[in-house]
Amino acid sequence: MGSLSCRPLSKSFATAGRPFLLDLSSAATLCRNVIESYLVLVYLCSQPSSEEENDFQQVLWGYHEACERLKMMESAVSDSIHLSELNQIQADLKDRLINLQFFQQLPKDERLRLIDGQKFKLVKRLELCKIAGVSCQLHEAQYRYCSAFAHTAPFSISVLDAHGWRKSEFSLLFANICRHALAHLALAVHDYLKLHPDLDVDSDLRNLIAIWKGVLKWKEIPETGNSPTDENPSPHLILP
């Protein structure tokens, strides 16, 4: 945000030096992280279709972690004494991965991406939304909006610049971002309580969860443009 005040053509240029109270970009970035974290929770709590798939998911998870750790170490501390150890861990996990029958049955291009450490799961975001019963349209809109700020895209710059540093307008944008995050946090708590039914929460939190569950699970709008209906509701993997 502060960089806008350095642009002579920016509406915020004349307000340089004034205190900025609401960091919309950081809030949107954190919100996207909450959304992604919820989908990872759904992935981790999903029941694999077979023992072979379960073994594959566990080995792939460890292999991806080893790849990321090794890449960061090579970039940041290329002369580290721990590099040889990390290389060996990665090599061992790679051998386990490529020898799994489930891995060998995957398409070649998919196998290459996994070996390269590009992915830690096969299920895509929108597929996880369907598993969780979350509206794919709503998710995509929220994710794209937050991603624009996370990557400092031209769209995010124009939004920030259009509103300048006027607190009243920024408060509305900031509150909207926070609601996106709150919705996914509520659903995460909702699922976590099903995993741990011995835990108890007060009625206010349960009411909040019920509200956001209804929002995130809003039915998709048909291609005909008709209003959403309650027919064929999407099942939730963890919760009925």
**Is 138 exposed, middle or buried, given 0-12, 13-18 or 19+ CB atoms closer than 10 A?**
middle
What is the model's pLDDT at position 24?
76
- The whole-angstrom separation of Cα 140 and Cα 210 is 21
Please tell me the total count of domains within the chain. Answer: 2
Tell whether 145 and 40 lie within a shared domain. yes
Which whole-number Å values give the CA distances from 53 to 41, 47, 48, 160, 168, in the listed order? 17, 10, 6, 45, 51
Please report which residue ranges of 12-150 form alpha helices under DSSP H: 24-45, 51-76, 83-98, 101-104, 108-115, 125-132, 136-150
Q: Are 40 and 64 contained in the same domain? A: no
Say whether both 172 and 81 belong to one domain: no
pLDDT at residue 78, rounded to an integer: 87
- 228 in a domain, yes or no? no
**CA 40/CA 188 separation, integer angstroms:** 10
- 3 and 52, same domain (yes or no): no
Residue 203 CA to residue 148 CA, distance in Å, equals: 36
Q: Please indicate, yes or no, if residue 146 is contained in any of the structural domains.
A: yes
Q: From 93, 122, 151, give the residue that closes a domain.
A: 122
- Please, what is the angle between helix 203-216 and helix 136-150, to 10°? 100
What pLDDT is stored for residue 176 in this prediction?
Answer: 82
> Domain of 64?
48-122
Q: Are residues 193 and 173 in the same domain?
A: yes
- Residue 126: exposed, middle, or buried by beta-carbon count in 10 A (0-12, 13-18, 19+)? middle
Report pLDDT for 202: 87
| Whole-angstrom distance, CA of residue 40 vs CA of residue 158 | 31
Last residue of a domain, one of 68, 100, 122: 122
Tens of pLDDT, residue by residue, the chain (240 residues):
444 444 444 454 444 455 544 677 788 889 999 999 999 999 988 888 899 999 999 999 999 999 999 999 999 888 888 899 999 999 999 999 999 999 999 999 999 999 999 899 999 999 999 888 888 888 998 898 888 888 877 877 777 777 655 566 667 778 888 888 898 999 899 888 888 889 888 889 889 888 888 888 765 444 444 433 334 433 334 333
Residues, the chain, total? 240
Residues 32 and 135 in one domain: yes
**What local confidence, expressed as pLDDT, does residue 218 receive?**
61
Cα atoms in the Cβ-side hemisphere of radius 13 Å centred on 202: 1
